Structure 1
Amino acid sequence: MNIYLIVRGIPSKNDPQWGCFEYDQAKALVAKGHHVVMLSVDERWKSRWRKLGIRVIREAGVTSYDLYSGPWVLLSVLNLWIYESVSSWLMLKLFKNVVKKEGMPDVIYAHYLDSFEYAINIKRQYKIPVVGLEHWSEMGKAYPSAQALRKAAKVYPQLDKLLVVSHALRDNVHKYVGVNSDVLPNVIGEEFRYLGDRPDNEKVKFVSTGNLLHCKRMDLIIKSLSSDRGMADKCSVTIVGDGVDHQMLQDLIVEHHLEETVRLVGRKTRKEIVEILNESDVYIMASDSETFGVAAAEALACGMPVIATDCGGPRDFVTQDNGMMIPTNDEHKLAEAILYMIEHHKDYSKKAIAEDFHNRFSAGAVANQLTDIFNTVIKKNKA
């Protein structure tokens, strides 16, 4: 099967997380024998990272075409309609160019709402079925923006199949947009694996990873530790990631005199994150909202018990056998959970957690499910 993925971007050395979820699914589909091509139109204000034109990357059996023609995202501030029209035109131009080299696709598989529009524009001209996978955090919020809802109500019904990454997101989409969808979990990169037991740490090591944005609530972790000096002395916390909240979090650490307990270590590569996870004891996800919760899933894949807020996506995979769920935005409950894990983290089997997670969320299982979906929409399109 010839499958074109329309994605937000392509992972690179400078930005390894950009488009990494889509790339993991692409590799899983290649492993099933499919021909997979990724297309992206990059409009970010990071021109120092790349040159104008089409960048072609062939890696792990996936061919990627990334078009950069300038920071068009700035146009969205002036006129959103013109910006979206230009973006859609650029994607269509890239598609026509790629078809000459890779052949006409049997199906287009788009990720995120913005990419759905690009794919539907191509569908109108070429009659190719489109499957969309939604994992945009905006659609998982308790109150999505009116602009996002208007766009979703217009675009979702035009897809041949709408997929979402969790049951919580499925319920939200149906509640606000009235469109039915099927659940397809994210693929977790094969790098995220349990590497075997390590010597006991002097202190219980907690870790959290993600962009340092308010919605990730890294501040809640710091505040919860400040409630009990004795608890803070028994553990350490490593926060991996970067973002606009970095300085605020650093100031909070100093304010609560937690410099010896909490470390902000910045952005890390996947390999480095896997090493950090395997050297730690417990993972914390304190987010307000998650459509899936990839970071917590990556920790489970490495065998770590997880403390997760009841923020949506983690309901699909955090259980009493691999961790604990607490309310969102509750500093007291998070402090209780940390204290419990300090005393009980050894009650969990890291090997068993990792094996169970990979059995339920393996790349092969997701690729098989996608293959069945693609075959169904292709057959229906030809009828």
Structure 2
Amino acid sequence: MKKVLLIMPISTLNWGEKNAGGVDSVCQMLVRELASRTQPLKYRYRVLAFDPKSQEQYTGRPIILSEQVEVIFAPANESRIGLPLPGIVTGWLRVREQISNYKPDIVHAHMNSWMIWPGGRAKNILTLHSYRKIGRKPVSFSNDLLYEKIIPSLSEYCVDIFTCVGSELVEALKKDTNKPIHIVSNPIDIAFNSQLKNEMVKTQDNKIKLVTCALISRRKRVDLILALLKEIRKSGRDVTLNIIGPNVDPVYYSELEMLIKKWELSDNVLFLGRLNQKEIIQQYQDADVGVFLSDQETFGLAPLEMLAAGLPLIATSVGILGERKDTFSKLGVTYYSNEQIENIACSIDSILYRDMRKAQDYIRSHFSAQGVLEQYESLYDEVIR
């Protein structure tokens, strides 16, 4: 049986208990789906799971999830021979060790820094969740030079097939390579697919509960959500906003606090910080409308998770919501623009009562972990044919 080495950021095998972001969450879903299959798999899998928070230590001993799926954890940052080395170096060393020990037929990585001269004779597949400046926050001159210029150029030589989670990444990548590129969307966890709440319960007390889920960073445009909240309140409605997500930009967070004070929204806004999946689902169950007004997304997990949970959605045309705008408009998504903010605020009742069952069905049928894995395995078949 052919062997696949998956290289992924994964923070836990207690699925959904924690994650360090969207890619971590996606990779947890995929490995969970692999391990839960009852029919024999086409391939044998080993997952080299880099813990983004470096809480899991490297032992080299596989954790057996099923007969054909095993996991080896490694910290994203670690010391070697007593020296604290950059994560890109220690990660590269771990990748080469696993390729040497496991001797896979296919190496499939979810970050391009793991695909720089990995060694071995395997066919290499790279899935891009971000690329160069797309989907990436600037850090420093040297860091940006490394991750936006050097690593993309070096990894391109070692990859046989690319996959991207969205068309924006594909268009950018086409400028740099002639190698095959495929779009494979991210999966949405079936745990979010819950039953719609009784519509009569939603507004029986005249309250409207908005919810958003995002890193508190400038690109996520939480300030626009606050402005929408203000407009809805001007119409006389009792409205609140729960904001799920960690503060990763203290300067921007301070600006949000000033806006809240200026617009007298202190009693209407609650920052919840980072929550686990179960807690996020509960917030969605308690909410009336999901809001996601990001400036840029390579895919956009959070708004699709809101739709999967049955929430009416107000969103910007980014990521998959931009690529399939006509489809999602017909499914009930309200698309936001600055010019439409007053109209959206005035239409909040019609948004509130929107039937989102068709959107739920669409998410369930088009973004399943099983479907994503089937696409990946078709690429494995192709690359080793």
| TM surpasses 0.5 | yes
Return 5+ residue gaps in structure 2 as ranges: 139-143
Distance 1:326 1:111 in 2: 31
The residue type equivalent to 1:2 in the other structure is: K
The residue type equivalent to 2:75 in the other structure is: Y
The residue type equivalent to 2:332 in the other structure is: N
The residue type equivalent to 2:124 in the other structure is: V
Indicate how the Cα distance of structure 1 residues 157 and 315 shifts in structure 2: closer, same or farther if over 3 A, else same. farther
The residue type equivalent to 1:206 in the other structure is: L
Q: Which residue of 2 aligns with 1:287?
A: 294
The residue type equivalent to 1:36 in the other structure is: Y
Q: Which residue of 1 aligns with 2:309?
A: 302
Distance 1:242 1:4 in 2: 32
The residue type equivalent to 1:188 in the other structure is: I
Q: 2:64·2:70 contact (CA, 8 Å) conserved in 1?
A: yes
Map 1:107-126 onto structure 2 (within 5 A): 107-117=106-116, 120-121=117-118, 124-125=119-120
Q: Which residue of 2 aligns with 1:367?
A: 373
26, 38, 41: which one pairs with 2:31?
A: 26
Indicate how the Cα distance of structure 1 residues 164 and 292 shifts in structure 2: closer, same or farther if over 3 A, else same. same
For normalisation by structure 1, the TM-score amounts to 0.80
Question: How far 1:139 moved relative to its partner?
Answer: 4.7
Map 1:154-303 onto structure 2 (within 5 A): 154-175=154-175, 181-198=181-198, 199-201=201-203, 202=205, 203-227=207-231, 229-231=233-235, 233-245=237-249, 247-248=253-254, 249-303=256-310
Distance 2:309 2:161 in 1: 32
Indicate how the Cα distance of structure 1 residues 172 and 312 shifts in structure 2: closer, same or farther if over 3 A, else same. farther
Indicate how the Cα distance of structure 1 residues 184 and 261 shifts in structure 2: closer, same or farther if over 3 A, else same. same
Map 1:59-138 onto structure 2 (within 5 A): 59=65, 62-68=69-75, 70-71=77-78, 84-96=88-100, 99=102, 104-117=103-116, 120-121=117-118, 124-125=119-120, 127-136=121-130, 138=132
Distance 2:63 2:257 in 1: 38
216-225 or 242-251, larger mean C-alpha shift: 242-251
Distance 1:105 1:316 in 2: 35
The residue type equivalent to 2:47 in the other structure is: M
Question: How far 1:179 moved relative to its partner?
Answer: 5.8
Residue 248 of structure 2: SS of its match in structure 1?
coil
Question: How far 1:10 moved relative to its partner?
Answer: 2.9
Question: How far 1:317 moved relative to its partner?
Answer: 4.5
- Aligned CA RMSD, in angstroms, stands at 3.3
206-215 or 51-60, larger mean C-alpha shift: 51-60
186-195 or 309-318, larger mean C-alpha shift: 309-318
Distance 2:295 2:271 in 1: 20
Question: How far 1:367 moved relative to its partner?
Answer: 1.7
The residue type equivalent to 1:194 in the other structure is: S
Distance 1:157 1:337 in 2: 48
Question: How far 1:216 moved relative to its partner?
Answer: 1.3
Indicate how the Cα distance of structure 1 residues 209 and 69 shifts in structure 2: closer, same or farther if over 3 A, else same. closer
Equivalent pairs: percent with the same residue? 21
Indicate how the Cα distance of structure 1 residues 305 and 196 shifts in structure 2: closer, same or farther if over 3 A, else same. closer
Q: 1:286·1:309 contact (CA, 8 Å) conserved in 2?
A: yes
Distance 1:178 1:335 in 2: 46
Question: How far 1:158 moved relative to its partner?
Answer: 2.7
Q: Which has the higher helix share?
A: 1
Distance 1:23 1:33 in 2: 20
What do the CA deviations read for 1:231-281 (whole angstroms, capped 9, x no partner)? 474422111111234642344323321122221111111011112113322
For normalisation by structure 2, the TM-score amounts to 0.80
Q: 2:131·2:152 contact (CA, 8 Å) conserved in 1?
A: no
Indicate how the Cα distance of structure 1 residues 339 and 241 shifts in structure 2: closer, same or farther if over 3 A, else same. farther
Residue 46 of structure 2: SS of its match in structure 1?
strand
Distance 2:187 2:34 in 1: 11
Distance 2:95 2:324 in 1: 35
Equivalent residue pairs, number: 356
Q: 2:8·2:111 contact (CA, 8 Å) conserved in 1?
A: yes
Distance 1:234 1:317 in 2: 33
Question: How far 1:350 moved relative to its partner?
Answer: 2.3
Distance 1:11 1:317 in 2: 32
Q: 1:209·1:295 contact (CA, 8 Å) conserved in 2?
A: yes
Distance 1:59 1:365 in 2: 20
Q: 1:137·1:291 contact (CA, 8 Å) conserved in 2?
A: no
